[in-house]
Amino acid sequence: MTAKIEVIHPGVFTTVQDLGRPGLAAIGVGRSGAADRGSLRLANRLVGNPESHAALECVLGGLVLRFSARATVAVTGAPCSITAGGRAFGPDSPIPVGPGDELVLGMASQGLRCYVAVRGGIDVPPVLGARATDTLGKLGPPALSAGMTLPVGEQVSTHPAVDLAPRAPLAVEPVLRVTAGPRASWFTADSLSTLVSSGYVATADVDRVGVRLEGPVLSRARGGELPPEAAVPGALQVPPSGQPILFLADHPVTGGYPVIAVVDEADLDQAAQVRPGQRVRFRLS
């Protein structure tokens, strides 16, 4: 009998995510997948899953799940309180749950996104080769809602034989490395130096598509419209307001505003944990 997970409370916003759908941009399908890919990979390794297995991405916590059978879970990403079967557990470690036990995540004290992996993975039907929810492309399963049930898969790897994966705390003011361009020439000579010497604050307009930032204006050196061109995760696209938008996992595959710089892929996990009101800085890599 396939084990099931019942959603008692979906938290603020929770979706199923894996490593996404790479290689389909030519047909208008973005990669999507976990916004903080490192946290998803770690959660899967802790429960003995292949890193590509589907797990849950939960914004700010508040998630409550009930398990129909024994399982092993792990919670990574934004730190939050965790109880399973009424007992307290820490993040970044395997957690045993029994039949009827509830896994309860408190609200995240830092960061934005928590990840919950279960041994065997979340076994919803794949769409175009992945189980990820793409909120912009409307692909994959819907966001979790109370009463929904999720099947647990059976494909697993060897248990990692660790009881804790030490991780550095999330930065209070993350510094994201960037590469200039591809449209830095569309901006005044001092705009790039302004970007990397000033702090920007994440506005309340934050989702899986991206985060709007507020800070010193990045002024254009030329007017006119840019024909739509390919967009990538980490692109800092600048609309006429001069306030940059940082693209995240569900970004559009093309964009029409010039991109002054792109966040290095190694720092995208940090970018995915920036929450509204948090200050972020950039530096040239």
What is the structure's pLDDT at 66? 98
Which residues form the domain of 140?
A: 4-151
Q: CA-CA distance, 42 to 161, in Å (whole number)?
A: 14
Residues 145 and 179 in one domain: no
**Is the domain of 141 the same as that of 205?**
no
Domain annotation covers residue 139: yes
> Are 40 and 53 in contact, with CB atoms under 8 Å apart?
no
Residue 1 has pLDDT above 70, yes or no: no
Q: Which two tokens mark 134? A: 């793409």
Q: Identify the residue whose tokens are 């001069």.
A: 242
* Token pair in block for residue 85: 């079967």
> Does residue 143 share a domain with residue 22?
yes
What is the pLDDT, as a whole number, of residue 177? 98
Residue 41: what pLDDT? 97
Cis before 182 (ω within 30): yes
The answer to whether residues 147 and 192 belong to one domain is no
Render pLDDT for 236-274 as a digit per residue (tens, 0 to 9): 999 999 999 999 999 999 988 999 999 999 999 999 999
Q: Please check whether residues 191 and 132 belong to one and the same domain.
A: no
Task: Indicate the helix (H) or strand (E) that contains 284.
Answer: strand 279-284
| Cα distance between residue 144 and residue 151, in whole Å | 13
Residues 140 and 185 in one domain: no
Domain boundary among 116, 151, 186: 151
pLDDT value for 159: 82
Averaged over 29-36, what is the pLDDT?
A: 96
Same structural domain for residues 82 and 211? no
Tell me the per-residue pLDDT of 130-189, one tens digit each, with 9 for 90 and over: 999 999 999 999 999 999 999 999 988 888 878 888 888 999 999 999 999 899 999 998
For the stretch 74-119, pLDDT in tens is 999 999 999 999 999 999 999 999 999 999 999 999 999 999 999 9
Whole-number pLDDT of residue 246:
98
CA–CA distance, 77 with 40 (Å, rounded to integer): 8
Q: Which of 113, 104, 17 is nearest to 60 (CA)?
A: 113
Do 130 and 182 fall within a single domain?
no
- In this structure, the answer to whether residues 276 and 179 fall within a common structural domain is yes
Give a yes or no: residue 271 inside a domain.
yes
Task: Mark which of 86, 118, 151 sits at the end of a domain.
Answer: 151
pLDDT tens track for 33-63: 999 999 999 999 999 999 999 999 999 999 9
* pLDDT of res. 162: 81
Answer yes or no: do 49 and 140 share one domain.
Answer: yes
User: HSE-up of 169 (CA within 13 Å, CB side)?
Assistant: 7
Q: Is residue 162 part of a domain?
A: no
- The number of domains in the chain is 2
Cis peptide bond N-terminal to 227, omega within 30: no
